[in-house]
Chains A and B, each alone.
Chain A
Amino acid sequence: MSSRTLMSALRGAFLISALAAVLFPLTWVTLASFKTPQQLNDPSLIVFQPSLINWSYVFEAGILQAAGRSAFVAGITVLISAIVGSAAAYVISTYKAGGSATRFGILAAQVLPPAVLVFPFLTLAYVLRVNDTLIPLIFAHLSFVLPVVTWFLIGFFDSVPRSLEEQARVDGFTRFKAFLLVVLPQVYPGLGAAVIFGFTLSWNDMFYGLILTPSKSAILPVAIAGFNTFRGVELGSMSAAILVAVVPVVIASFFIQKRLVQGISGGAVKY
């Protein structure tokens, strides 16, 4: 066997094991969501009569409403992040605002564990009488989504020639109009990826949700955790709820994977 075929065999084996590592839990969760509690006692059961009992229970428990709240929080968070972040990223990229440190320093907040920030958020929410609503949660999510979206976009703006903005200004437009009509359209692909990436970050967050929206306005991850009751983990229902949370993210990631790599590598990958 030549070294070339050995290499490709090794690569194949590695990819298959990686795929298995990802697909195994997903498959297990998918199967579990269609099993009755009795069937769940036998984890090795693969062929069985599917039941929708978990799904109907999960929908009755308001999982769709929780998903709706999650989508609302993520949507508003990402909308604000896109508007503020694209403007910030352009200024950092083009005018070197704040010096070269800003480019990476903007991610400094990510170093802090969320536990440091959550208490001030909770206190503020109480004082402003908005506790257990989605408002403080949106602000909490902005604290990590906005910097990431901004950082993500800087690399995309780096590849837009400066002369485009100058040309638009000479052609009769204000700086802002030049940005809006000429510069921003050049980074639409990156902006799209940043929006989906930011949406996923917010959608996946559980920690802030657990503390800021514990009960009546619980978001999806919190609702999922709710199936871990004092009577034990309701595995079937939880599996169904997990699928509700995972499927949109998997689909979104599939569509943005290329731009995701490009954004993270600072716009260096050409498409």
Chain B
Amino acid sequence: MGTVGLKSVQKSFGDTTIVEQLDLDFPDGSFTVLVGPSGCGKSTTLRMIAGLESVSGGTITINGKDVTHLEPRDRNIAMVFQNYALYPHLTVLENIAFPLRATKIPREAARQRAQEIADSLGLGHLTHRKPKELSGGQQQRVAIGRAIIREPAVFLFDEPLSNLDAKLRVETRSELLAIQRRLGVTSIYVTHDQEEAMTLSDRMVVMREGKIAQVGTPSEVYSSPTNVFVATFVGSPKMNILPGVLEDSTFTIESGHSWSLPHAHAGSVFVGLRPEDLLLVPDDRGHAVIEQIELLGPRAVVALRLSGVKLVSVVEAAELASLAVGKAVTVTFRPESTHLFDGDTEERVPTQVLQREG
């Protein structure tokens, strides 16, 4: 069981700041995902928690104990690397049992524990193989087995699923979540994949350029992103962002098209619309033209152009009958489904949408 705390943690190489004044608390048993584009400092943050990277400022605590300057071996953590870092010269069983060689647990007991863990992960019949004789998914499970054998205070995952193919990734993702729930060990997980972050985490931390852009549950982050960056980063296909001016409850974009948007705010804004909130009405005099339709089974992604602005909409396959590439449509949306961001700061405008009259 463990809690992790980061207090104004900082990392810089010379003049380049990688991580800036990070404050984060990871409660006991939580599953937190650090997510962001490459170079946002998420991996560096994880490696600082592991003790593999030195800290330029601030303190890191595990279970309340200051570990900022402790070696990785003294932090009671386990880590799964992107390439799994299995020991090639050891068998599956020896790999899983390896962390116990650093403890006083006798070899026979260690082997027995490793065997139990291998069995629980469905690796029981593979214990005498070497890592290179295993498939990617099996290697992944050996790495997880090696992580859980020590019963650490914290699990650290550094993009552990990105070397797997798409189908296996989804399966392993739910297995991983099940293991974490069963063991209840505090987990910190780094990924660049927002979908992975959404499905795995109790809480996601969206990072950008070494800073936290937003912290919240996946549904909080999805439903009320704090700025344009988070809004476009989370969700797939990504949110449409329309620049324009809001005045007297009317939103007008550069080309002159306008929509009614009852809102107390006024001035230059970005209006964010999730693709599924963009409603298309077939209309020969419509202002947008369909450029592409991608069928994804029950739903379809429709790419449109609205006088120079590219938009993406997701529609039910049933609605496709009335839509075709090259056809004109009118784009509408329900005012409640919009996300409003300030035109200068790109931050979310907090005021609620006004209730429509009648």
Contact = CB atoms under 8 A, between A and B. Distances in A.
Given A185-B89, A186-B88, A186-B89, A172 B99 contact: yes
B102 A170 contact: no
Given A185-B89, A186-B88, A186-B89, A169 B83 contact: no
Contacts of A185: 87, 89
Interface residues of A, number: 17
B85 A164 contact: yes
Contacts of B51: 169-170
B81 A172 contact: no
Given A161-B83, A163-B81, A163-B83, A169 B89 contact: no
A173 B98 CA distance: 10
Contact of A169 (B73, B88, B101, B103): B73
Contact of B52 (A164, A170, A171, A186): A170
B85 A172 contact: no
B146 interface: yes
B79 A172 contact: no
B81 A166 contact: yes
Given A167-B79, A167-B81, A173 B73 contact: yes
B175 interface: no
Size category of the B interface is 20 to 34
Nearest to B100: A172
Which of A166, A171, A173 is packed against the most chain B CB atoms within 10 Å? Answer: A171
A182 interface: yes
Interface in B81-96: 81-83, 85, 87-89
B89 A171 contact: no
B85 A163 contact: yes
B72 interface: yes
Contacts of A171: 73, 78, 98-99, 102, 146, 150
A163 B73 CA distance: 15
Interface string A162-181: 01101111111110010001
Give me the 10 closest cross-chain CB pairs, A-B, nearest first: A172-B102, A167-B85, A163-B85, A171-B99, A185-B89, A169-B72, A170-B79, A172-B73, A170-B72, A163-B81
Interface of A: 161, 163-164, 166-174, 177, 181-182, 185-186
22 contacts: A163-B85, A166-B52, A166-B85, A167-B79, A167-B87, A168-B87, A169-B73, A170-B51, A170-B52, A170-B78, A171-B73, A171-B78, A171-B102, A171-B150, A172-B99, A172-B150, A173-B102, A174-B71, A181-B101, A185-B87, A185-B89, A186-B88
